[in-house]
Structure 1
């Protein structure tokens, strides 16, 4: 399949959702603009303030986040996922028309087509699952950009590379943090379909918990409904990736690959190691009612390695939330409070850009 054919296929799928997006925008009634207008009015203060002297002004606190801030944060996570899946499945990134916006636009480092996806070998089910997820993620980018309109931020610089032993990319850095590879190895998520599944697992659970955590910050009910719809799609994706990893992991031992590249980790232990690494980055969650510390990031098996854990939940069967700061701890690959790193080497655009202080 040529690049042109690939892009036509991708954007034909996006076009089928155009009417849905237009309906959303009509129903929203220019909500993003209304949010921006409300913020502007709040910043202007009292129109009569210049008629009489007032008290000495005090420092202005940081502005409260609005719906556009939250949606732009979500958009940048979608840029990351969409680029990873688009390259892995189709061998090309997002169209340039989907990357523009406010803030500094950055390039994508890394990304290539998984060989089994390119030549039609390997597991056809995984190939088709990956294709469907890729198209969904690209559609999420297009939808959020439509909802935000001129308020949409540009794609920041994104690193989705394996890199080299001496200059590791984000995926290798993440895999080293999880103990999947040594300091003399790299982890390439595009090397084969098993590595691709582990690479996808790094992102999927984070997306679900990010949308759930952001839901309490969204005031506009129309936007909230849209975010809930994307959360549901991400949850389907995450459950699917977990299911495939678990099923294949039951019968797939580690196998050697090319020189200087790590052997494919056993899928179950590899996924569980990634989960533990994410937990070490985003801190622990304490139930304020019971004081019980919970594991907000769980592997694909329970305490018994032979028992599956396809849906990571608390004791009530409820999926965990992550704050924006915790999400950034993971994508920046840093447990400290920083504003760039990892998969976003130059940080994010917009008002949400600093990770939590968990170090």
Structure 2
């Protein structure tokens, strides 16, 4: 073997060794938890589905009207199934629900303008009927008598409200590092900040009611947050990314508190979820390719279509 051949072989072995070391030091998420490759525009397209869900749920629950009534020409699609006025008897809470729903319309418009999406934007079929929200608890084999109705009172509705913001907060936290373009990053960061604040307000409202019963049942609001956290973690997969209002001391901020108004990781950083984790949860099927639940016919957009085509459950 010539000296040149030896040198080439040595270099090849060195490259292979370094590649192995690099791979050994990179902890990749399990296949279940890896994001599906998407462009900035596709990620925003995906988020629009969640913004539409939040706007329709909030506005119809307190005003009895939807996006098309308030901002004609922005979206086009079927009216939600089963949406109804919620019995929210606290004016402060009702006004914030309205404000947050109206803000979602602004977010949809900003996304359309920034990403040059053609309006009216397609509106997915939503099912906002009480049995769908009750189905979340059924994933834990928990049933209530009478059946759970999220529109029944303020305490019941706050659970739907907090998750509408949480889905968006989790998704934007996941996509922010991959957003390309300064204006687009600013838009995503601005929406993420708003949704984090909205989530915080709703969690605070729940915390204020922590020891009150969720009528007509005997369990408290705090008990219910533990149940809903279990549901979200089970459906989404990929570990604990939701928590109740109270946690064991070892899981509290700096291991010094059991209060847990804002769910966050061991360093009190916001959790993030991929598109597939979000789909598994809102579909209530635990499968990103099997629509159901809040979105009986699935999402609109090419990212969702790619997830289906690749069978990325």
1:149 paired with 2:94, answer no
Q: How does 1:163-312 map to 2 (within 5 A)?
A: 168=131, 170-178=132-140, 181-182=143-144, 185-250=146-211, 252-256=212-216, 263=217, 265-285=219-239, 295-303=240-248, 307-312=258-263
Inter-CA distance 179–253: structure 2 relative to 1 (3 Å threshold): farther
Q: Is the 8 A contact 2:206 2:221 kept in 1?
A: yes
What SS is found at the alignment partner of 1:249?
A: coil
The alpha-carbon deviation at position 189 of structure 1 amounts to 1.7
1:99 paired with 2:99, answer no
What SS is found at the alignment partner of 1:171?
A: helix
Which digits, 9 at most, give the CA deviation of each residue in 1:124-144, with x for residues without a partner? Answer: 322222222222222222222
Q: Is the 8 A contact 1:254 1:266 kept in 2?
A: yes
> In structure 1, what is the equivalent of residue 80 of structure 2?
108
- Runs (4 or more) in structure 1 with deviation over 4 Å come to 355-359
**Larger RCO, structure (CA 8 Å, separation 6 or more):** 2
The CA distance in 1 between the partners of 2:246 and 2:281, in whole Å, is 21
* Deviating more after overlay: 310-319 vs 128-137: 128-137
Q: Is the 8 A contact 1:215 1:227 kept in 2?
A: yes
> In structure 2, what is the equivalent of residue 127 of structure 1?
94
Q: Is the 8 A contact 2:289 2:312 kept in 1?
A: no
The CA distance in 2 between the partners of 1:214 and 1:269, in whole Å, is 31
The CA distance in 2 between the partners of 1:149 and 1:186, in whole Å, is 43
Which digits, 9 at most, give the CA deviation of each residue in 1:306-332, with x for residues without a partner? Answer: 932122222222111111111111111
The CA distance in 2 between the partners of 1:64 and 1:244, in whole Å, is 37
What SS is found at the alignment partner of 1:78?
A: helix
The alpha-carbon deviation at position 179 of structure 1 amounts to 5.5
Which digits, 9 at most, give the CA deviation of each residue in 1:185-226, with x for residues without a partner? Answer: 432222211111011123222221111101123112211110
The CA distance in 2 between the partners of 1:342 and 1:178, in whole Å, is 15
The CA distance in 2 between the partners of 1:178 and 1:358, in whole Å, is 24
RMSD: 2.6
Please give the TM-score of this superposition, normalised by the length of structure 1. 0.67
Q: Is the 8 A contact 2:80 2:127 kept in 1?
A: yes
The alpha-carbon deviation at position 265 of structure 1 amounts to 4.7
The CA distance in 1 between the partners of 2:204 and 2:288, in whole Å, is 33
1:88 paired with 2:61, answer yes
Q: Is the 8 A contact 1:202 1:274 kept in 2?
A: no
Query: Number of residue pairs matched?
Result: 265
Q: Is the 8 A contact 1:335 1:357 kept in 2?
A: no
Which digits, 9 at most, give the CA deviation of each residue in 1:283-309, with x for residues without a partner? Answer: 124xxxxxxxxx211122111599321
Structure 1 unmatched runs, 5+: 1-62, 117-121, 163-167, 257-262, 286-294
The CA distance in 2 between the partners of 1:248 and 1:209, in whole Å, is 24
Structure 2 unmatched runs, 5+: 1-35
The CA distance in 2 between the partners of 1:178 and 1:81, in whole Å, is 24
> In structure 1, what is the equivalent of residue 43 of structure 2?
70
More helix by share: 2
> In structure 1, what is the equivalent of residue 52 of structure 2?
79
